[in-house]
Amino acid sequence: MFVVFWMMLLSGYLSAQTQEWKTAVRDHGKITVNYCVSERLDESDLKVLVIMYSAVTIDTISMKNCIAIMKDASKYQELMDLEISKRITTISENEWVNYYYSSPGWPLSDFDWVAKITFSEDTDTKTAIFTSTAEPSLYKKANVNRIAFDNEKYAFKDLGNGEIEVTVTIEESPAIKVPRWLLNIAIPGGAADFIRNIVKLAKEDGS
């Protein structure tokens, strides 16, 4: 069952907290997820949960398709199981703003977030990197909770012989209240689902 919703709850800036990192493997070791649930102080000096993970896989896909998918805001509906995913502003060829709306269903509340995306490519190291940062003030507020702090990085490295290493790094504070124990259960599966979907879409686009 697709549980990328939990991945979307991830991220956040850490205060000086003890971090207990765990490692999970999926698909017979093909996907590795390192993850941690900790705490930080928000803008009101209240303790909130912060969820972090780094998921890595290697597969036979094309760099061109990976870049095309990550530039297409509509693809995020499938990547993250969203109700709405759209580009709302183009700042430049390599920088834009996306809007996302998630409706996970009872008993969880709907939430949304706004993210500024930047893209860079290094032909010498054969890498392409997308970074995503929450920018909650860049789009009109809906009547739902909005993610206020989110940092994401999607890195693609060409290993040669048609293989690409895909690394997804997430650091986020949830927009809605979810128990720490449930997040710890959900993170490995959600992270694996997300990176599987990137690979799946890249293959469908003709790699």
47-88: pLDDT as tens digits: 888 899 999 999 999 999 999 999 999 999 999 889 999 999
* pLDDT(152) > 50: yes
Which helix (DSSP H) or strand (DSSP E) does residue 187 occupy? helix 180-204
Rounded to whole angstroms, what are the CA distances from 115 to 138, 143, 152, 163, 195?
8, 18, 10, 29, 19
What pLDDT score does 45 carry? 76
- The CATH number of the domain where 163 resides is what? 3.30.530.20
Task: For residues 126 and 159, give the distance between their C-alpha atoms in angstroms, rounded to a whole number.
Answer: 8
What pLDDT score does 206 carry? 55
DSSP conformation class of 139: S
Is residue 34 within 8 Å of 53, Cβ to Cβ?
Answer: yes
pTM for the predicted model, two decimal places: 0.86
Number of domains in the chain: 1
Q: Any idea which residue has 């990192």 for tokens? A: 21
Query: What is the phi-psi region of residue 206: left when phi exceeds 0, alpha when psi lies from -120 to 50, beta otherwise?
Result: left
What pLDDT score does 143 carry? 92
Task: For residues 178 and 58, give the distance between their C-alpha atoms in angstroms, rounded to a whole number.
Answer: 31
Q: Write out the residue range of the structural domain in which residue 46 sits.
A: 4-204
For residues 122-138, give the mean pLDDT. Answer: 96
Rounded to whole angstroms, what are the CA distances from 107 to 63, 176, 178, 186?
39, 11, 11, 16
Nearest to 102 by CA among 199, 13, 175, 177: 175
Q: How far apart are the first and last CA of the chain?
A: 25
What pLDDT score does 182 carry? 87
What pLDDT score does 174 carry? 82
* pLDDT(162) > 80: yes
Task: For residues 180 and 10, give the distance between their C-alpha atoms in angstroms, rounded to a whole number.
Answer: 12
